[in-house]
Amino acid sequence: MQSGLESQIQHFDGIAVSVLSEARVACRSASGYFEDLVSLCFDPRPLVSVGATWILKAEFEEGAKLAPDLVDLVVNSLERLQSWQAKLHICQSVEGFQFTATQADQFIQWVTRLSDHPRPFLRAWSLNARVMLGIRYAKLRPAVILDLEAADADGAASVRARARKLRNLLSKQA
C-alpha cells in the first residue's frame, strides 16, 4: 500500500521542488515518516528517489537525525541509487549522517567511486563528502589528502575550486 509520502512525491516533476517541500510538511508528523522516506530514497523510479533524497537532505539541514537502523539501511542500499541527482543529494547530506566507523568505511568506498563520474558537480560533492568524513575520522585523512591532490588535476574548474576550499577547511581542522 502506498504511503502518503510516496503519493505526494509522485507529483514531483524533477523541477518544482515546492512539491517536495509541501510533501515534507504534509507528511513529516506521520508515524513511520523517516522509515518511508529512507525506503523511497532507493526507489527504482528515478523521480521518486530524487525527490526522497532531496527531502532527506532538507531534513538534515534542519537538524533531523536518523535512527541507527535507518543509517545502516542507507549505507547498505547506496548501490541501488540510480540517478546522479539522488547520489548528489546523499553526498550533500553526509554531515547529517551519524555513521559508525564501519558505516563510514562503506560510505567512503561508495562515494570514492563517484570521483570519476561524468558530472563535475557530482565529482565536487563526492570530494566534499570524503573530506567531511576525513575530518570526522582521522584514519581516513591520508586518503582524503591524496583525493584533494588528485582533484587539483580535474578538468572541471568547479572540482578544482571545491578542492581549494576543502583544503583550507581541512588545514583549519589539523
Q: Residues 55-110: pLDDT tens digits?
A: 999 999 999 999 999 999 999 999 999 999 999 999 999 999 999 999 999 999 99
Predicted pLDDT at 1: 57
Predicted pLDDT at 173: 80
Burial 35-44 (b: 16+ CB within 10 A, else e): bbbbbbbbbe
Closest among 23, 47, 26, 48 to 38, alpha carbons compared = 48
Predicted pLDDT at 172: 86
* CA 59/CA 96 separation, integer angstroms: 9
Q: What are phi and psi of 155, to 5 degrees?
A: -70, -15
What percent of the chain clears pLDDT 90, i.e. is strictly above it?
95
